Chain A
Amino acid sequence: MTQINAVDTGHEELIHDAQLDYYGIRLASCSSDKSIKIFDVSNNQQRLIADLKGHEGPVWQLSWSHPTFGSLLASCSYDRKVLIWKETTSSGLPPQSNTAGGTQYSVIYEYDKHTSSVNTVAWAPYEYGLMLACGSSDGSISILSSTGDGRWTVKKINDCHPPGVNALSWAPAVLPQSSDESGVQGITGEPVKRFVSAGCDCLIRIWKFREQDDGWIEETHLDQHNDWVRDVAWAPTFSFHRDKIASCSQDGHVYVFTRDIRSSTNWECTQIGTHFNDVWSVSWSLTGDILAVAAADKVSLWKVGLDGKYQCLTTPHTSASSAGSPSVSSAVDSTAGETGNIPLMAT
Chain B
Amino acid sequence: MQKTEIHWSPNDRNQLAEIGAEIIIHTFDRPLSGESGKCVLGGTNKRTTSLNYPLHEKNYIKCCAWWPSQEYPYVFAIGQPNGRIIFENVKDRSDPLSQGRIVIDPRQGRACVALAWNSKHPNLLLSGYDRHRTENCLTIWDINHNGMSSPTIPNGTGLPTSSSATNIEEYKRYDMYLHNQQSCKAIFEQGTHEQCHSLTWFKPNEKLFAACTTQHNTRTIKIYDPRVPSGSVLSFSTKGPFNLCCDTSERYLASSSDKTVYVYDTRSADKALIVREEHEPIVKLSWNRIGSPQLGYCIKDSPKFHLLSMSTNIVQDNDVFVHRLLQCPIQRYRIGLASFDWNYFDEHRLVLLGGKEYFDYVIPSRSTINYSPRNGLLWTNGHEMYSSIISQDQNQLTSKVLFTYDLSNVQNERRSVTPTQSTLNTEIIQMDLRTMSKETQSTIEQIQRWIKNTSTARDPYPFVGVIDALKEVQPSSKSIVKQQSWSSMTNSTHTKTIFDSPERQIVGQLCGWSNIDSKSGGYDRMASLLEQDEYEKVAAIYIFQMNITRAMEVLNEGHQRGGKEELATLSLALFGSIRATLTNHNDESFIHDFSSVTKLFHRPYVRAMFAFILTPDGNDLSYECVLDEQLDLNDKVAFAAKYLNDHLLEKKLEKLADESREKGDLQGILLTGLKQSGCELIQNYLDQTSDIRTAALLAIYVPEDVHQECRYVQEWIEGFRVLLDELQMWNERAEFDIYRSHISGTAPHRRHLFDRSINFNHHFSCIFCQTPLETHPGMSNQTPTPVGLSSNVNSTPITTTPVRPQTRGSQQTMSNRISASSSSSYPQSQNSDLLMVCSKCRQVLPRCSICMMSLTTYIEDASYAYEPLPDKHTLMSSQWFTWCRLCRHGGHAEHVSNWFAMNQQCPIAKCFCRCTLIDGIFC
Interface residues of A (CB under 8 A from B): 1-7, 9, 11-20, 22-27, 29, 32-34, 40-44, 56-58, 67-68, 70-71, 78-79, 87, 89, 92, 94-96, 98, 117, 126-127, 173-175, 177, 183-187, 190-191, 227-228, 231, 238-240, 242, 250, 277-278, 280-289, 292-297, 299, 304, 306, 308, 316, 318, 320, 334, 336-344
Closest A-B pairs by Cβ, 3 of them: A337-B437, A24-B374, A339-B693
- A residues within 8 A CB of B921? 25, 42
- Contact across chains for A177 and B712 when beta carbons are under 8 A apart: yes
Residues 670-713 of chain B, each 1 if its beta carbon lies under 8 Å from chain A, else 0 = 00000010000001001111111111000000000000011110
The interface residues of chain B lying within 8 Å CB-to-CB of A95 are 904
The residue from A14, A239, A287 contacting B366, defined by CB atoms under 8 A apart: A14
CB of B166, distance to nearest CB on chain A (Å): 36
Chain B residues 439-477 with CB under 8 Å of chain A are 440-441
How would residues 307 to 326 of chain B score, 1 for a CB under 8 Å from any chain A CB and 0 otherwise? Answer: 00101111000101010000
Residue among B391, B436, B695, B923 making CB contact with A42, cutoff 8 Å? B923
Separation of A316 and B388 alpha carbons in the complex (Å): 9
Collect the chain B residues with CB atoms within 8 Å of residue A227's CB: 327, 331
A287 and B692 form a contact (CB under 8 A): yes
Residue B365 at the A interface, CB < 8 A?
yes
List, in ascending order, chain B residues with CB within 8 A of A1's CB. 390-392, 396
For A67, the chain B residues whose CB sits under 8 A away are 802, 885, 918-919
Least CB distance, B379 to chain A, in whole angstroms: 5
CB–CB A15/B385 < 8 A: yes
**Residue of chain B at shortest CB distance from A304:** B688
Q: Which A residues lie within 8 Å of B390 (CB)?
A: 1-2, 342-344
| A175→B912 contact, CB < 8 A | no
B753 x A277 contact (CB < 8 A): no
- CB-defined contacts of B712 to chain A, threshold 8 Å: 177, 185, 239-240
Q: Per a CB cutoff under 8 Å, which of B386, B693, B754 touches A318?
A: B386
Q: A127 with B371: in contact, given A25-B919, A26-B920, A58-B311 (CB under 8 Å)?
A: no
Q: A127-B800, A238-B695, A337-B436 are in contact. Are A19 and B919 (CB under 8 A)?
A: no
Are A17 and B912 touching (Cβ within 8 A)? no
> Whose C-beta in chain A lies nearest to the C-beta of B440?
A337
Instruction: Verify A5–B437 contact, CB threshold 8 A.
Output: no
Q: Mind listing 27 A-B residue pairs with CB under 8 Å?
A: A4-B387, A13-B312, A14-B365, A15-B385, A18-B378, A19-B372, A22-B373, A26-B920, A27-B387, A29-B380, A34-B311, A127-B753, A187-B711, A238-B692, A238-B695, A240-B715, A277-B41, A278-B41, A278-B364, A280-B364, A285-B371, A294-B367, A294-B379, A296-B364, A297-B38, A304-B688, A334-B437
A41-B375, A89-B914 known; A14+B382 contact, CB < 8 A: yes
A276 to B383, CA, bound (A): 21
A56 in contact with B320 (CB, 8 Å): yes
For residue A44, give the distance in angstroms from its CB to the closest CB of chain B: 7
- Report the bound CA distance from A316 to B387 in whole Å: 11
A25 contacts B311, C-beta separation under 8 Å: no
Q: How far is the CA of A19 from the CA of B438 in the complex (A)?
A: 35
Contact of A340 among B387, B401, B437 (CB under 8 A): B401
**Contact in complex: A293, B687 (CB < 8 Å):** no
For A277, list chain B residues within 8 Å (CB). Answer: 41, 43, 364
**A-B Cβ contacts below 8 A, count:** 300
Q: Is B535 an interface residue (CB 8 A)?
A: no
Which of B318, B383, B690 contacts A287, CB < 8 Å?
B690
Check B389 against A292 for contact (C-beta < 8 Å): no
Q: How far is the CA of A48 from the CA of B692 in the complex (A)?
A: 36
Residues of A within 8 A of B367 (CB): 280-281, 294-297
B377 beta carbon closer than 8 Å to chain A = yes
One of B179-187, B411-419, B623-631, B718-726 contacting the partner: B718-726
Within 8 A of A (CB), among B783-812: 799-800, 802
Residues of B within 8 A of A (CB): 34, 36, 38, 40-41, 43, 292, 309, 311-314, 318, 320, 322, 327, 331, 364-393, 396-397, 400-401, 435-438, 440-441, 676, 683, 686-695, 709-712, 715-716, 719-720, 723-724, 726-728, 753-754, 799-800, 802, 885-886, 903-905, 912, 914, 917-921, 923
B690 touches A288 (CB 8 A): yes
Q: Please determine whether B370 and A20 come into contact, CB atoms closer than 8 angstroms.
A: yes
Note all chain B residues with C-beta closer than 8 A to A173: 753
> Do the beta carbons of A292 and B375 come within 8 Å of each other?
no
A226 → chain B, closest Cβ, in Å? 10
Known contacts being A25-B920, A26-B920, A294-B368, is A15 close to B885, with CB within 8 Å?
no
Q: Are A297 and B689 in contact (CB under 8 A)?
A: no
B381 lies within 8 A of A79 (CB): no
Q: Would you call B374 and A281 a contact (CB within 8 A)?
A: no
Q: Which of chain A's residues have a CB closer than 8 A to the CB of B400? A: 339-341, 343
Task: Choose among A26, A57, A71, A127 the residue that contacts B320 (Cβ–Cβ < 8 A).
Answer: A57
Q: Quick check: B380 and A18 within 8 Å, CB to CB?
A: yes
Residues in A whose Cβ lies below 8 Å from that of B914 = 89, 94
Contact B386 A344 (CB under 8 A): no
- Chain A residue numbers with a CB within 8 Å of B382 are 14-15, 297
Checking B36, B376, B724, B726 against A344 with a beta-carbon cut-off of 8 angstroms, the contacting residue is B376
Q: Are B388 and A344 interface neighbours, CB within 8 A? A: yes
Query: A20–B385 Cα gap in the complex (Å)?
Result: 12
Decide if B366 touches A92 in the complex (CB within 8 Å): no
Q: Are B373 and A24 in contact (CB under 8 A)?
A: yes
Q: How far, in whole Å, are A292 and B689 apart by their CA atoms in the complex?
A: 16
B376 touches A342 (CB 8 A): yes
Of A3, A23, A282, which contacts B373 at CB under 8 A?
Answer: A23
* Residue pair A306, B689 in contact (C-beta under 8 Å): yes
User: Chain A's nearest CB lies how many Å from the CB of B533?
Assistant: 20
Asked if A6 contacts B386 (CB within 8 A), the reply is: yes
For B371, B374, B393, B400, the residue with the greatest tally of chain A CB atoms inside 10 Å of its CB is: B371
Complex: chain A residue closest to B38, CB-CB? A320
- Are the C-beta atoms of B689 and A18 separated by less than 8 Å? no
**What distance in Å separates the Cβ of B46 from its nearest Cβ neighbour in chain A?**
16
B contact residues around A25 at 8 Å (CB): 374, 919-921, 923
Judge whether B918 and A71 touch: CB under 8 Å: yes
Residues of chain A lying within 8 A (CB to CB) of residue B694: 339
**A184–chain B nearest beta-carbon distance, Å:** 6
Q: Is the CB of A339 within 8 A of B923?
A: no
Q: Please, which residues of chain B bring their CB within 8 A of the CB of A285?
A: 371
Report how far A17 CA is from B435 CA in the complex, Å: 34
Known: A1-B390, A94-B904, A292-B377. A286 touches B383 (CB 8 A): no
Shortest Cβ gap from B276 to chain A (Å): 14
Across the interface, name the chain B residue whose C-beta is closest to A250. Answer: B327
Nearest B-chain residue to A341, judged by Cβ: B400
Choose one: A9, A13, A320; the contact of B311 (CB below 8 Å).
Answer: A13
A95 to B921, CA, bound (A): 17
In this complex, the member of B372, B687, B754 whose beta carbon has the largest number of chain A beta carbons within 10 angstroms is: B372
| In the bound complex, CA of A293 to CA of B369 (Å) | 7
Of chain B, the residue at the smallest CB distance from A307 is B688
Flag if B436 contacts A286 (CB, 8 Å).
Answer: no
15 additional contacts (CB under 8 A) given A18-B370, A281-B369, A283-B371: A1-B396, A7-B387, A18-B380, A19-B372, A23-B374, A24-B374, A42-B920, A70-B918, A98-B904, A184-B709, A286-B727, A297-B367, A337-B441, A339-B401, A342-B397
Closest to B384 in A: A6
Contacts of A9 in B (CB 8 A): 385
| Residues on B with beta carbons closer than 8 Å to the beta carbon of A43 | 923
Interchain nearest-CB distance for B78 vs A (Å):
37
Question: How many Å from the CB of B709 to the closest CB on chain A?
Answer: 6
Q: How far is the CA of A22 from the CA of B710 in the complex (A)?
A: 30
A-side contacts of B41, CB under 8 Å: 277-278, 296-297
Residue on A nearest B723 in the bound complex, by CB = A340
Contacts of A177 in B (CB 8 A): 711-712
Report the minimal beta-carbon distance from A85 to chain B, rounded to whole angstroms. Answer: 15
- Determine the distance from Cα of A231 to Cα of B380 in the docked complex, in whole angstroms: 14
Residues on B with C-beta less than 8 A from A282 are 369
Q: Is the CB of A320 within 8 A of B36?
A: yes
Which residues does chain A contribute within 8 Å of B435, judged by CB atoms? 336-337
